[in-house]
Amino acid sequence: MHPLVLHSLPPAPIDSSFPPTPKPYSTLSPLPHNSFATTIRELKTAKLHGFAASASPSNPKTKTQKQDDDYHTTLKALNSKGRFPRRSLGQHYMLNGSINEQLVGAADVKEGDVVLEIGPGTGSLTNVLVNVGAAVLAIEKVLQEDFTRCHIRSHMSLIMEGRSFVESQRAKVVANIPFNISTDVVKQLLPMGDMFSEVVLLLQEEAALRLVDPSLRSSEYRPINIFVNFYSDPEYKFKVPRTNFFPQPKVDAAVVAFRLKQALDYPRVSSTKSFFSMVNSAFNGKRKMLRKTLQHICPPTEIEAALSEVGFQTTSRPEELALEDFVKLHNLISKP
């Protein structure tokens, strides 16, 4: 039994709304065995719609052989699979094994944890996860049109059902993902706080900083920032210089840990769908006043009154409001 590769179903229209809507089922098939794709045996095989899921080594004391993640080892692994990194798709492979160890450490992965890895590549990060005793579900082929169609919840439920967990225990996500799908990954995973406790991602540094600590009244403040803080507590962990990747990107990277909230901890809104619809509408007219961008929800006079009640001027713009301010505004102007 081998680690798994995910093949998505035929393309469907991409939903870019907040929060993301459920995607169609996908199918799984095994990767060819090689030294980088560690076999995973501990978890009993579970079947759903014809695919199998598996986890960490049957003997937790047996460690997989550690590879030297230098340039030549990575290139050899890629050649053995007939793969060629494509910069246009944001594909950059890790050369430094210590970075993988720090990535796993940032998620505080322990023996017995269930971990979702997105885009295992040469398997160097997978090896580190397995070596600490984690049960790993690795999803391959993580281009935008593939990942956004993965039915992650179904696959993870299958894994979780095959293990003995206390009711409160949740899985984790640890991944070095292509830079150009980072927003899609964040949008898909962060609302899954009932299943994941931590989502630790290696991202383009600029994106990492923008997601974790955006400044109000700046051009970097966007709906994704409201989304991230609604569903999680993000933390910038450490910077990863571009020299640690092949091919070397033009920018540095950074690791961000998102500690996911559970439903009881979400800000209180009457409807998350209408809340994020309002947030998106508010930012549609960047630099436009909220009384104009939200007038399809209620008359401008009601929006002005709500803004005053929240403590803002009637001429306020979206980049002036923090998450809690948007929550208060939504609860004042949304219709039951």
| Binding site, annotated residues for S-adenosyl-L-methionine | 92, 94, 119, 140, 176
DSSP code for 99: H
Length, in residues, of the chain: 336
Q: How many CB atoms lie within 10 A of CB 328?
A: 19
In three-state secondary structure terms, 225 is helix
Q: What angle do CA 199, 202, 90 make, to 5 degrees?
A: 125
* 111: its two tokens: 């023996």
DSSP E strands in the chain: the ranges are 4-7, 27-30, 46-48, 51-53, 93-94, 114-118, 135-139, 171-176, 196-204, 232-240, 245-246, 253-260
d(CA 298, CA 21): 26
Its sign, for the CA torsion 222, 226, 228, 234, is positive
Residue type, 297: I
